[in-house]
Structure formats: C-alpha cells, structure tokens
Amino acid sequence: MSVTEIVLMITELIGTTAFSVSGALTAIDRGLDAFGVLFIGCITSTGGGILRDLLIGRTPPAIFSNLYVLASAALTSIIVFVIAYLKRKTYHTLRDHIEAVNSIFDAIGLAAFSVMGTEGAISAGHGENVVLSVCIGMLTGVGGGILRDILTDSTPYVFRKHIYALASIAGSVIYYFGARAGFGTAPVTFAAMAAVIAIRLLAAHFRWSLPRVKLDSDRRL
C-alpha cells in the first residue's frame, strides 16, 4: 500500500467519523429514535460514495465491501446517541462544543471524499469527461449531507449555508487537471485536499455565503 493510499484511508476514516457525527446530531435534533440516529449517521457518511458508485456503474457500491468504513460510521453514530442520551440535560451546550471540533474533521472529510470521487470517475474510464469527473467528485463530497437533510425534512445545507459545494468543486478541479497533467498522485492529492480544507474553514470562520434573494418571508432563516 502506497503512502498516498494510506493517507487517503486515514482521511476517509476521519471524514466518515465527522460526517457520521453530523448525521447523528441532526437525527437527534429531529427527535428520531436510536435506529433513526444510526441510519442517518451512516447514510450521511456513506451516501456520497454510494451515489458515486451507482453513477459510474460500480455495483454493488464499494461501501458493502469496505465494511470497516460502514462499521466506523455505525459505531460513531451509536456513540453520539449514547452520549446525547446520557447527557440530555446539557445536550445543547455539549452539541455546540462537538460541532466546533467536528467542523475541522468535516473539512478533512469533504476534501478526502471529493478527491476520492474524482479519482473514482477517472479510474472508471471517464477521465476524458471533465464535467462528469468533477461532478462525481463534488457529489461524493456533499451527497451524503444532501441525503441526510432530505431524509430529515430540511433544505440541504449545501444550498443555504456558507461555501460548501464550491470548496468540493475546487478540490475536484485541482485533482482532475493535476492528474491529467501527469503530476504525481501524492502532490496532486495533497494540493486538492489543502484547497478544499482551506476554503471550507475560511468560509466557516468568516461566514462566507453565496448571494441570494432575501424576501420578507425569509427573514426567519
């Protein structure tokens, strides 16, 4: 196993954990039961990869072979549920602390999944199609969060808060053109991930958002 593969595996686990925490917290906020928290936590962390594999014709999706990823997502979701259950009287305060730390890991996960999605499209023989490759990279990064929000009856986060999908697209573009130009896998991977992480964290810190039309009925948002 190469250094790049080891790094990607580690970052995938970090991202899986972060996305699982995000999904589990959302499910708890929505009042779902233990199974609901487990399911939403898992789909948040694996949904993007499942959509990627289905779109590039890789069936069954790789997640059903990489059981360590699914197990990590499930375990994380269960731990979050247990902590929230035991600390339910101080849950909201605890949630804020978890979110603050998780935002960093979330950025790492978004970066890793975006790169892995783009690489997956290229490896599947779609390297000549830049639009498809970049879109697959972006969908791998944000797809799980979109499924999470749809299943919990919320407007997907990527359409309303900070710059999230654009960070994923930027990393996918960097990886795609770097890989096509023949640069080494390791430097291209690190450059693409660094771009995603930097954009995501800066957007969260400075509360960057894309412009939108604000109507009177939107003042509560």
Cis before 60? omega within 30 = yes
What does pTM read for this prediction? 0.88
Q: Give the confidence band of 4 by pLDDT, cuts at 50, 70, 90.
A: low
Using one digit for the tens of pLDDT, what is the confidence trace for 69-114? 899 999 999 999 999 999 988 888 888 888 888 888 889 889 989 9
More confident residue, 4 or 38: 38
Structural Rg of the chain based on CA atoms? 17
Residue 220 has pLDDT above 70, yes or no: no
pLDDT for 1 beyond 80: no
48, 140 Cβ separation under 8 angstroms: yes
Residue 189 near residue 114, CB atoms below 8 Å: no
Confidence of residue 159 (pLDDT cuts 50, 70, 90): confident
- The pLDDT, as a whole number, for residue 93 is 86
pLDDT tens readout for residues 17-43: 989 998 999 999 999 999 999 999 999
pLDDT at 68 over 70: yes
Percentage above 70 pLDDT, the chain: 95
64-90 as b/e: b if 16+ CB within 10 A? eebeebbebbbebbbebbeebeeeeee
pLDDT of 109-131, one tens digit each? 899 899 999 999 999 999 999 99
Question: Mean pLDDT, the chain, as a whole number?
Answer: 89
